[in-house]
Amino acid sequence: MKTVSEYFGSMVFDDRVMKATFSAKVYASLKQTIDEGKELDLNVANAVAAAMKDWAIEKGATHFTHWFQPLTGITAEKHDSFISPSPDGGVIMEFSGKELIKGEPDASSFPSGGLRATFEARGYTAWDPTSYAFIKGKTLCIPTAFCSYGGHALDKKTPLLRSMEALNKQALRILRLFGNDTVKRVVSSVGPEQEYFLITKEMYDARPDLRFTGRTLFGAKPPKGQEMDDHYFGVIKPRVAAYMAELNEELWKLGILAKTEHNEVAPAQHELAPIYSTTNVATDHNQLTMEIMQKVASRHGLVCLLHEKPFAGVNGSGKHNNWSIATSDGQNLLSPGETPYENAQFLLFLCAVIKAVDDYQDLLRISVATAGNDHRLGANEAPPAVISIFLGDELTAVLDAIETDTPYKGAEKTQLKLGVHVLPKFNRDTTDRNRTSPFAFTGNKFEFRMLGSSNSIACANIMLNSAVAESLKIYADKLEGAKDFESTLHEMIKQTIKDHKRIIFNGNGYDDAWIKEATEVRGLLNYRTTADCMPHLLDKKNVDMLTSHKVFTVEELKSRCEIMLENYCKSVVIEANTMIDMAKTQIAPAVEHFAADLAKNAAAKKALLPAVSCTYESSLIFKLSELTDRISFAADELQSAVIALHEVDGIIPESETVRDKILPKMCGLRLACDEAETLTEKSYWPFPTYADILFSVR
């Protein structure tokens, strides 16, 4: 059997393969493209394509695909085989540089939010050489960006790459000001921790709500949930362990650095975390991870649920986006340094993030907004919809000292001057692990915890990179023109702390008192739903910032806003329709059967013993009929609300109607059905209960 180090990355056309197969010239030229973004010439592309094809065929591949990430949230691929007819009736296997660099899938069935109306229906995919090609099944997958013919991005990778470029550009300006002339590139890195549920396929198949919507729309609280805290980090069951082992193997073959696995808080909930990598690679890898999680589950008779809130009343699933910025020579710019000089630079980058998060709270909230994640944000296991930063006591004290010109406790009793000479050394704060903060500094990186488990991490990182690029730009503009670098730097940092300290909060983010303070005293935003936040994508300040860094065009932003809201409405309407169907054709009839049998029993008892009261049966029948009436009424009401939605014009009013009219009616219907579940004899209940599902994997 091969060891992990022997098969790790065996399905990836990575640097090792490139070095071994390319001529020195081709290798050097491609490396320049990968590391420095230099344009690739066609001769090099042809050589790369030929080598890739030979390598892939040797590994058993017959097809290639431009693998891309349309706005549906999942990945897309159209397979073409390598075959090309030869004159003798046979075939030869071909793959040209042109085919590598550019593809032309029909864009018309992917969401474009109006971009198609004004531009051509066709789209094209363009190779992203910074993310390695890989083999999945029998197909060579080439990571690509997906654009319309007018050049508008129709995917998540394009703006992500643009945002990384923006961050690189502005961060380099800052580094130059600090006298660093050698660094060539600055990149953001991400390690996304992925949560998921594993249930058995039998349970999944028996629940229309899970099959159609990915979450349960009904279900009374089971007698045992997560109250014992006995699942978190608990012993992994053999069936789950077998799943995890095969998952790791598949991921490792694809060069994905799956590192940590453990049980999560809720029963049947688990987590997988990779070692961090460059943001666009981490994004590709996370998309692949989600896909492979589901595929491997099906081989084990299991289903992997990636929905943010598959079960009410137990924890939902998120994705913690650990994010930092590093130079091409490996210096983490969010790591406090050894010297005052390094610390001044660190504090500037720290302030850039603080300013970015405060100025663009709305964009960060928008970047994680989906119908599914709305159920999670603000529930008791997830950060609230209010964004704040946790810095820990030590850094907060440093910032306080700078703001108020008072001595910092850790320093000799000198005033804390930020000049590159006088700033004292301070320790990395590694002690505090505040888990309730949506945006926590964890020593040398930030952990953005609002992402939902099914979200592409591209969206959050696009906004994060862009917003930080904007802060850095403002700083660089000031510093480049400054007469006295040190005092300008000092004043700028001080001012940032003054202006943005409202976003720093080290307390319990789940506390109701905090939400009150955040919104009423500090004036922080609290967009509870997708419908609340999404329209703000088009606020002038957001459009100005994102277009000035060339991350999005105005048209792209408009189209994305529309697509995201459409997605929100469609998801909820599908849920509503599923509920109506389940309530009318499964739940109400089941309750009726039970009540009818109770009535039959009571009649039989009475016939035998006229003196018996049958109080049990009659009071239960009474309650059950009241409930079936309520269920039927609530289902009709919900149905009318869904029908009425057709009359609403415009995507924003439509999303507001979904939020205000449909979602509350869904809750009403659920309440009646869940109550009926607690009164109905189990054998009548038409599908598995929470207890059945959550404890199904043994």
- Residues in contact with ligand ADP by CB under 6 A are 189-191, 193, 260, 273-276, 320, 322-324, 332, 444-445
Strand partners, 504: 389
Least separation in angstroms between CB 350 and Mg ion: 19
* Binding partner at 446 among ligand ADP, Mg ion, none, C-beta below 5 to 8 Å by kind: none
The one-letter amino acid at 119: F
The one-letter amino acid at 84: S
* Binding partner at 375 among ligand ADP, Mg ion, none, C-beta below 5 to 8 Å by kind: none
Least separation in angstroms between CB 391 and ligand ADP: 16
Looking at the Cβ atoms of 190 and 489, the one nearer to Mg ion is 190
Looking at the Cβ atoms of 276 and 527, the one nearer to ligand ADP is 276
Cα separation of 581 and 643, whole Å?
A: 14
* Binding partner at 275 among Mg ion, ligand ADP, none, C-beta below 5 to 8 Å by kind: ligand ADP
**Plot region of 233 (φ>0 → left; ψ -120 to 50 → alpha; else → beta):** left
Closest-CA residue to 127 (of 291, 280, 325): 280
Looking at the Cβ atoms of 113 and 318, the one nearer to Mg ion is 318
Cα separation of 563 and 370, whole Å?
A: 11
* Binding partner at 365 among Mg ion, ligand ADP, none, C-beta below 5 to 8 Å by kind: none
* Binding partner at 189 among ligand ADP, Mg ion, none, C-beta below 5 to 8 Å by kind: ligand ADP
Least separation in angstroms between CB 276 and ligand ADP: 3
Q: How far apart are the first and last CA of the chain?
A: 28
Least separation in angstroms between CB 447 and Mg ion: 5
**Plot region of 268 (φ>0 → left; ψ -120 to 50 → alpha; else → beta):** left
Least separation in angstroms between CB 322 and Mg ion: 7
Looking at the Cβ atoms of 320 and 560, the one nearer to Mg ion is 320
Looking at the Cβ atoms of 315 and 530, the one nearer to Mg ion is 315
Looking at the Cβ atoms of 132 and 323, the one nearer to Mg ion is 323
Looking at the Cβ atoms of 231 and 320, the one nearer to Mg ion is 320
Looking at the Cβ atoms of 414 and 430, the one nearer to ligand ADP is 430
Is the C-alpha dihedral spanning 142, 282, 164, 169 positive or negative? negative
* Binding partner at 548 among Mg ion, ligand ADP, none, C-beta below 5 to 8 Å by kind: none
* Binding partner at 640 among ligand ADP, Mg ion, none, C-beta below 5 to 8 Å by kind: none
Chain contacts with Mg ion (rule: CB under 5 A): 320
Least separation in angstroms between CB 324 and ligand ADP: 3
Closest-CA residue to 417 (of 486, 485, 479): 486
* Binding partner at 677 among ligand ADP, Mg ion, none, C-beta below 5 to 8 Å by kind: none
The one-letter amino acid at 205: D
Cα separation of 65 and 561, whole Å?
A: 29
Convert 453-482 to b/e letters by CB count within 10 Å (16 or more is b): bbbbbbbbbbbbbbbbbbbbbbbbeebeee
Label each residue of 390-442 as H, E or C: ECCHHHHHHHHHHHHCCCCCCCCCCCCCCCCCCCCCCCCCCCCCCCCCCEEEC
Tokens encoding 670: 């659920």
* Binding partner at 551 among Mg ion, ligand ADP, none, C-beta below 5 to 8 Å by kind: none
Residues making up the chain, counted from first to last: 698
Q: Which residue is nearest to Mg ion (CB)?
A: 320
C-alpha count within 13 angstroms, C-beta hemisphere, residue 432? 18
* Binding partner at 274 among Mg ion, ligand ADP, none, C-beta below 5 to 8 Å by kind: ligand ADP
Looking at the Cβ atoms of 72 and 335, the one nearer to ligand ADP is 335
Least separation in angstroms between CB 494 and ligand ADP: 27
Looking at the Cβ atoms of 447 and 562, the one nearer to ligand ADP is 447
Task: Say if residues 450 and 382 touch (Cβ distance below 8 Å).
Answer: yes
Is the C-alpha dihedral spanning 59, 64, 70, 73 positive or negative? negative
Looking at the Cβ atoms of 435 and 550, the one nearer to Mg ion is 435
Q: Which residue is nearest to ligand ADP (CB)?
A: 191
Closest-CA residue to 439 (of 370, 500, 371): 500
Least separation in angstroms between CB 331 and ligand ADP: 11
Cα separation of 11 and 31, whole Å?
A: 20
Least separation in angstroms between CB 515 and Mg ion: 22
* Binding partner at 445 among Mg ion, ligand ADP, none, C-beta below 5 to 8 Å by kind: ligand ADP
Which of the 8 DSSP states describes residue 236? P
**How far is the CA of 292 from the CAs of 13, 303, 457, 568, in angstroms?**
19, 12, 16, 25
Least separation in angstroms between CB 251 and ligand ADP: 13
Least separation in angstroms between CB 193 and Mg ion: 5
